[in-house]
Chain A
């Protein structure tokens, strides 16, 4: 298999290397990729949508269908993870571990034993628990809110600077995952439950598709934001800009929720009880 792989890789590599001489040179302004639709996007996006960031304008307006279904792909990936690994029945683990907060002594409580929940003196810990590091915990606690704020900025400022729903959503999800890594899964689940991550991920797709349908009901084509001008009370160009923002926030919500949802399922092997 190893030699077969090497032979296949080198054959393909030689072929591609040979073909690369026919490709346009790097930085060629007249390469085929830059000659057909892209000049139209560059020259008209500002007057059509009043969005200076052409990538955002193309992503959510000119090619809104593509992005809608990409968001749907991400949502279905989250769903697929859920159906693959989630253990639906609530299994009682063989033993649970608790740590006395004042003294730091850990207890192992066998199945059927009385659990010291609700006393406030004990904290449940994972079976593969290592003591929390003060520096890591403190740094993450300080940094996580700012990462989330930055994520919102990236989503909201996607019209004028590099950014948008996908990037901001991933940053937001990463902040929650960072929190989960620096503390533990149960504490994260208390702040953002599995149910809410699932609902938010479908809500994001719903916002996107709903905006498209709203345009349809207003008498224009699917995802033609110009039709929203009457509802938003702005002119048609500004309506396209606002439509892009609505859609991008939907994408951001969906992406952030799906990232967190996938992390919950993968890190705990579907049990959502103990995890990283």
Chain B
């Protein structure tokens, strides 16, 4: 029977990720301002990135750069000595892509602002309704 302390240590990375994920999700649902929605989306992405990086960790392992001596000296490399490089690879590209998509999202928000003069979702919807009926 594992103690409650061990359980917390084993799982708290997931709880931190879940908390961030929910903050982002709530912001995307509940906030009316489009820029706040975009910020929520970014927090959500951060949660996913942290999730991937945390599942790649191994206890007692080092960063995935192979320690090597002078040229010619070879030694066996054990997978248990290095943390999983795969989540790092995937997240490395994901971080830069998230910055680029953030740029696109802000460009869209800018376009909406120049069209409707506001970034509040309810006011934009009101103006769309007006232009459709009137």
A-side residues, CB < 8 A to B, are 1-2, 4-6, 8-10, 12-13, 16-17, 20-21, 23-29, 31, 33-34, 37-39, 41-43, 45-46, 52-55, 58-59, 63, 66-67, 70, 73-74, 77-78, 80-81, 84-85, 160-162, 164, 166-167, 169-170, 255, 258-259, 262, 265-266, 269-270
| B110 at interface, CB cutoff 8 A | yes
Cα A55 to Cα B99 in complex, Å, equals 20
Residue interface mask B64-89, A partner, CB < 8 A = 1: 11111000000001111010111111
Q: Which residue of B lies closest to A34 (CB)?
A: B84
Number of A-B contacts (CB under 8 A): 177
Task: Give bound CA distance, A10 to B21, whole Å.
Answer: 11
Once A8-B25, A20-B11, A266-B106 are accepted as A-B contacts, the answer to whether A38 and B93 lie under 8 Å apart by CB is: no
Q: Name 9 interchain pairs, CB-CB below 8 A, sorted by A.
A: A1-B29, A1-B32, A42-B66, A42-B78, A52-B68, A54-B64, A55-B88, A74-B97, A262-B100
B contact set with A: CB distance below 8 Å:
7, 9-15, 18-19, 21-22, 25-26, 29-30, 32, 54-61, 63-68, 77-80, 82, 84-90, 92-93, 95-97, 99-101, 103-104, 106-108, 110-111, 114
In the bound complex, what is the Cα–Cα distance between A63 and B70 (angstroms)?
28
Residues of chain B within 8 A of A266, CB atoms compared: 103, 106-107, 110
A42 touches B100 (CB 8 A): no
- Interface of chain B: mostly helix, strand, loop or mixed: helix
B109 to chain A, nearest CB (A): 10
Specify which chain B residues have a CB less than 8 angstroms from the CB of A41 in the assembled complex: 85-86
With contacts A6-B26, A28-B59, A52-B66 taken as known, whether A43 is within 8 angstroms of B77 at the C-beta atoms is: yes
B61 to chain A, nearest CB (A): 7
CB neighbours (8 Å) of A31 from chain B are 55
B58, A80: Cβ atoms closer than 8 Å: no
Contact of A66 among B10, B15, B88, B93 (CB under 8 A): B93
User: Which 4 A/B pairs are nearest by Cβ-Cβ distance?
Assistant: A25-B10, A5-B29, A5-B30, A77-B100
